[in-house]
Homo-oligomer: A and B are copies of this chain.
Amino acid sequence: MDQSLGQSRAITAGERAYQWTREAILSGRIPEGTFLEEKLVCDEAGVSRTPVREAFHRLAAEKFIDLLPRRGAQVRRVTAGELFETYEMRLLLELHGFRILCGKNIDIPAWLSEHLDRMEDPERVARVRAGDRDAIAEHAKMDFFFHFSFVKATGNSILIDLYTSLQPRHQRIAVSAVSLRPKRLEVIAPEHRTLLKALTDHDYDTAERTLRHHLRPDETVVSHLR
């Protein structure tokens, strides 16, 4: 195609295909259960099938899609069972992060407060509550980023990997939760503030108590996924 343009060759075609698809799934442009056709991604990402297929295998390993032999790539659904499991694992991994952060007196990034400011921006919140799909997907990503920051601060690369692998499932759950119960936003925001303060103060007990309440499956979402 247009390889001859001499653009920054740093990004390979496979990487473009991967990022486009990953973003399309995370943003909700491609709904769960959709059979993702190679040709669609080829056209959208402007690459041939080979790098697209490589991206698909990577995305399958990362639980974004299921690769059904001779059927195609299906965007993964989150079942009710997986919802419970995801919260269970998030609690396990995040609490472990908290223990390290508090125990070793590791400081958490100062800009996290500004991140919460952006999440609570009235205009953004209004769009989310209005049901704007893009805004909801963006909110879910920011929520993940917030929690991920604590895990990242521990510096444990494997913990970071494990937690990262939860993102596809987190995204679906968070989108469902905010879509079905926009009122949750009013609960989430102050809990995030409490978490941040507790960790800044190295107050593990408060952090744990808050997180245990924060990571509780919403019955409305559960029944919706059943």
Question: Interface residues, chain A, CB within 8 Å of chain B?
Answer: 10, 12, 14, 50, 53-55, 57-58, 60-63, 69, 81-82, 85-86, 88-89, 92-93, 96, 156-159, 161-162, 165-166, 169
Task: Select A156's contact among B57, B88, B158, beta carbons within 8 Å.
Answer: B88
**Which residues does chain B contribute within 8 Å of A92, judged by CB atoms?**
92-93, 96
Interface centre among A10, A61, A81, A86 (most CB of B within 10 A): A61
**Which residues does chain B contribute within 8 Å of A159, judged by CB atoms?**
85, 88-89
Task: Select A169's contact among B14, B96, B158, beta carbons within 8 Å.
Answer: B158
User: How many copies of this protein are present in the complex?
Assistant: 2
B58 touches A60 (CB 8 A): yes
- Tell me the minimal C-beta distance from A111 to chain B in angstroms: 26
- Tell me the minimal C-beta distance from A33 to chain B in angstroms: 18
**Which residues does chain B contribute within 8 Å of A50, judged by CB atoms?**
50, 53
- Tell me the minimal C-beta distance from A65 to chain B in angstroms: 12
Task: Select A54's contact among B12, B53, B156, B169, beta carbons within 8 Å.
Answer: B53
Task: Select A158's contact among B54, B57, B85, beta carbons within 8 Å.
Answer: B85
**Which residues does chain B contribute within 8 Å of A69, judged by CB atoms?**
10, 12
**Which residues does chain B contribute within 8 Å of A156, judged by CB atoms?**
85, 88-89
**Which residues does chain B contribute within 8 Å of A161, judged by CB atoms?**
63, 165
5 example contacts (A-B, Cβ-Cβ < 8 A) are as follows: A55-B57, A57-B61, A61-B61, A85-B158, A89-B158
A158 touches B58 (CB 8 A): no
**Which residues does chain B contribute within 8 Å of A60, judged by CB atoms?**
58
**Which residues does chain B contribute within 8 Å of A12, judged by CB atoms?**
69
B61 touches A62 (CB 8 A): yes
In angstroms, Cα B69 to Cα A162, docked, is: 24
A157 touches B82 (CB 8 A): yes
- Tell me the minimal C-beta distance from A163 to chain B in angstroms: 9
- Tell me the minimal C-beta distance from A48 to chain B in angstroms: 12
Task: Select A82's contact among B53, B61, B85, B158, beta carbons within 8 Å.
Answer: B158
**Which residues does chain B contribute within 8 Å of A165, judged by CB atoms?**
161-162, 165
